[in-house]
Amino acid sequence: MTYQSGLFAGKRAIVAGATQGIGATIANHLAALGAGVTALGLGAGDGTLHDAVEVRQADVTSAASLTAALADVGDLDIVFNCAGIIQRGAEHDPEVFARVLEVNLTGTMRVCSATRDRLKARRGCIVNTASMLTFFGGGLVPGYAASKGGVGQLTKSLAIAYAADGIRVNAIAPGWIATPLTRALQEDPARSGPILARTPMARWGTPEDVARAAVFLCTPAAAFITGVILPVDGGYMVS
């Protein structure tokens, strides 16, 4: 842990899409720093969430599901949007394409809208999850790339719209991160090699790399930062 213990003591956080992967790691980091954290997601998760994190079932594609999950949640300080899917190859089917956008983009907007008033009371912050594909396309993943491009523009738009409420809205843009979603790539030297060759830091990122940068956007040190899309990619996008 790279932050002062108790940094978020007395703070309340919601992390959507937090039952596994990057979302779970972010939830764990917030809890370790003293925040009261509720993880929203589908299923029981992958077993990596700390006991201090409360888990609630919620589907970001359903307004009713989110309303039920947040019914007894009062004022909020921090909201993370990490819910997302990718369907490589299949996203050229318009129905699959629409489903990816519904989860990744509309789901992000739905969580932001559902928590806005709660964040306003505490002048809180939102951190969305964009991607390196926010900045360029992906031939196998048109839905994912389109949704993450949309998350980038949504972040900038809500940063403007929510500023009068004292709410900061930023995003992280992970690069090639070692998670279960990228395991097939990691284990295939023919595919992993070109990725690492283009990455100046010459390694796969970790969920912890992403979480530490994401948490920064919620700290007092970032009090004058809003509308930013922060790449966490080892330099991949600038090489």
Q: Which residue numbers are catalytic?
A: 144
CA distance 125 to 28: 18
Rounded CA separation 154/94 (Å)? 22
> Would you tell me how many other CB atoms lie within 10 Å of the CB of residue 24?
27
Say which residue the tokens 């029981």 belong to. 44
The H helix count followed by the E strand count for the chain is 8, 7
* DSSP calls for 45-68: --S-S-TTSEEEE--TT-HHHHHH
Q: Which helix (H) or strand (E) holds 29?
A: helix 21-32
Three-state secondary structure of 115-173: HHHHHHHHCCEEEEECCHHHCCCCCCCHHHHHHHHHHHHHHHHHHHHHHHHCCEEEEEE
**35, 77 Cβ separation under 8 angstroms:** yes
